[in-house]
């Protein structure tokens, strides 16, 4: 095997998040005895990743395990994506998602065709997404797309025959963000991997936002419902009486996890182990920001040891004066994105055999 060891990478351990908690991937690997669930990863080969319902607890943990192996840099790889081209087609603004996907591809020795702004495509001349999908079939091997229209996946899917990864579709879903969120939580507390997490390690999740119209929040909740042995309670905190939305109604009703909806964050903040915050709700082609009363800062009544997750970008709902505190998990969360996306792309493009130390066949 021609090897490329990650020790040669400029992404040293010091180059993860600069502030807040730093998460050690080794803790997650050790917890799983270094055994990565290759069989679960293989189920993703050739698949489009459109919706978090495609995952289950086992696949989420397996993606996190491989991400941890890659982040640990204690791995030998034989140019996993050599010969593969990823198209990143972004019809809506992004800092993290596009660039971390592109970084992931390049670090795996693949190549990238990047559309950072959909307006430079034929869309500006009235071309349909369906026709663009037809073109992509010959240009690349996987398409990673963000679009403000919730129906965009069906539209491009009319002709696209390559795996499509949903990088955010309007108010729909952001499944790979949810994988990143759970990667951070599993590194923070590896016991959450278990179907029968010890009671004292189970977490009370507080979610500030509106899952019905916030795609990252919705996808995070969808995955949280898969961890019923690790999540003891979910509190949705919103100014709306019903922030859940259609897509989550049934999974919430069927979940054994206790779920409550409240509108006063102060009422529950001191009880929460994890506070997930997002700021932007998508309303068709416009946005609505989180209500001002839900802002967090260093004086907020957070429980000792509680952590804050935020998919970012933030506005003023999480004050910068939290950045240097133990509550800041959001920078470590963002820092995990490249590894999660490396893990996912290697699985989807069926190149697991090019990473040593995975076990199985
Ligand atoms: N978390 C996230 O989706 O960030 P970007 O909008 O910067 O891609």
Judge whether 150 lies within some domain: yes
53 and 170 inside one domain: yes
102 and 205 inside one domain: no
> What is the number of domains present in the chain?
2
222 and 311 inside one domain: yes
Neighbouring CB atoms inside 10 A of 229's CB total 18
Judge whether 157 lies within some domain: yes
% helix / strand / coil in the chain, to the nearest 5? 40, 20, 40
For the four alpha carbons of 258, 264, 265 and 266, in that order, the dihedral sign comes to negative
Cβ–ligand 1 contact at 287 (below 6 Å): no
pLDDT in the model for residue 294:
86
For ligand 1, mutation pick of 220, 312, 315, 330 (most atoms within 8 Å of CB): 312
142 and 74 inside one domain: yes
- Nearest atom in ligand 1 to the alpha carbon of residue 93 is 6
Contact 305, 281 (CB under 8 A): no
Give the separation between CA 6 and CA 8, rounded to whole angstroms: 5
Neighbouring CB atoms inside 10 A of 166's CB total 25
Neighbouring CB atoms inside 10 A of 134's CB total 15
CATH number for the domain harbouring residue 42: 3.40.50.1370
pLDDT in the model for residue 285:
60
250 and 197 inside one domain: yes
Centre of ligand 1 to C-alpha 174, Å, is 9
Residues 6+ away with beta carbon under 8 Å from 24: 187
Cα separation values, 233 from 23, 259, 333, 338, Å: 24, 6, 21, 30
77 and 47 inside one domain: yes
Cα separation values, 150 from 21, 55, 93, 161, Å: 34, 20, 15, 20
Judge whether 83 lies within some domain: yes
* 207 DSSP assignment: E
Cα separation values, 31 from 36, 71, 357, Å: 11, 15, 16
Q: What is the pTM of this model?
A: 0.94
Judge whether 159 lies within some domain: yes
Residue 206, H or E segment: strand 203-208
Cβ–ligand 1 contact at 94 (below 6 Å): yes
Centre of ligand 1 to C-alpha 197, Å, is 30
pLDDT in the model for residue 8:
36
CA-closest residue to ligand 1 atom 3 = 97
Judge whether 304 lies within some domain: yes
Residues 6+ away with beta carbon under 8 Å from 266: 301
Q: Give DSSP secondary structure letters for 6-43.
A: GGGSS--GGGS-SSS----HHHHHHHTTT---HHHHHT
Neighbouring CB atoms inside 10 A of 110's CB total 25
Cβ–ligand 1 contact at 314 (below 6 Å): no
- Nearest atom in ligand 1 to the alpha carbon of residue 167 is 3
75 and 119 inside one domain: yes
Cα separation values, 229 from 25, 127, 255, 269, Å: 22, 47, 11, 22
End-to-end CA gap in the chain: 16
Judge whether 225 lies within some domain: yes
Q: Return the residue matching tokens 């073109």.
A: 135
Contact 340, 180 (CB under 8 A): yes
Contact 356, 77 (CB under 8 A): yes
118 and 265 inside one domain: no
236 and 149 inside one domain: no
Judge whether 8 lies within some domain: no
225 and 91 inside one domain: no
Cβ–ligand 1 contact at 96 (below 6 Å): yes
Judge whether 19 lies within some domain: no
Tens digits of pLDDT across the chain (361 residues): 444 444 434 344 445 899 999 999 999 999 988 889 999 999 999 999 999 999 999 999 999 999 999 999 889 999 999 999 999 999 999 999 999 999 999 999 999 999 999 999 999 999 999 999 999 999 999 999 999 999 999 999 999 999 999 999 999 999 999 999 999 999 999 999 999 999 999 999 999 988 998 999 999 999 999 999 999 999 999 988 889 999 999 999 999 999 999 999 999 999 999 999 997 666 556 666 667 678 999 999 999 999 999 999 998 899 999 999 999 999 999 999 999 999 999 999 999 999 997 765 5
pLDDT in the model for residue 280:
65
327 and 199 inside one domain: yes
Helices (H) and strands (E) in the chain, counts: 12, 13
96 and 243 inside one domain: no
Domain with 309, as residue range(s), is 178-333
């Amino acid at each position: 095997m021609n090897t490329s060891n990650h020790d040669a990478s400029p992404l040293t351990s010091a180059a993860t998040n600069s502030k807040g908690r730093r998460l050690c991937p080794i803790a997650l690997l050790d917890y799983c005895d270094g055994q990565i669930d290759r069989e679960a990863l293989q189920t993703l080969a050739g698949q489009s990743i459109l919706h978090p319902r495609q995952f289950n607890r086992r696949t989420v943990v397996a993606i996190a395990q491989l991400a941890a192996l890659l982040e640990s840099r204690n791995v030998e790889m034989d140019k996993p994506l050599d010969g593969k081209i990823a198209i990143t087609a972004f019809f809506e603004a992004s800092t993290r998602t596009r660039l971390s996907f592109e970084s992931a591809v390049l670090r795996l020795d693949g190549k990238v065709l990047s559309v950072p702004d959909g307006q430079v495509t034929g869309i500006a001349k009235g071309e349909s997404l369906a026709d663009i999908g037809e073109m992509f079939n010959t240009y690349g091997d996987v398409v990673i797309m963000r679009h403000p229209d919730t129906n965009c996946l069906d539209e491009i899917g009319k002709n696209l025959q390559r795996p499509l990864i949903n990088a955010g579709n309007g108010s729909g879903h952001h499944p790979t963000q949810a994988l990143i969120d759970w990667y951070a939580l599993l590194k923070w507390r590896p016991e959450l991997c278990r179907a029968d997490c010890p009671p004292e390690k189970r977490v009370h999740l507080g979610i500030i936002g509106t899952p019905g119209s916030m795609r990252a929040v919705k996808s995070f909740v969808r995955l949280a419902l898969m961890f019923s042995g690790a999540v003891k309670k979910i509190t949705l905190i919103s100014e709306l009486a019903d922030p859940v939305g259609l897509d989550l109604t049934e999974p919430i009703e069927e979940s054994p996890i206790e779920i409550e909806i409240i509108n006063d964050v102060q009422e529950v903040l001191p009880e929460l182990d994890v506070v997930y915050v997002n700021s932007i709700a998508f309303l068709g082609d416009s946005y609505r920001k989180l209500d001002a009363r839900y802002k967090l800062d260093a004086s907020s009544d957070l429980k000792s040891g509680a952590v804050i997750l935020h998919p970012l970008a933030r506005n003023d709902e999480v004050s910068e004066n939290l950045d240097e505190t133990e509550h800041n998990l959001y920078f470590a969360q963002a820092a995990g994105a490249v590894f999660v996306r490396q893990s996912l792309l290697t699985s989807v493009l069926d190149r697991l055999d090019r990473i040593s130390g995975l076990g199985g066949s």
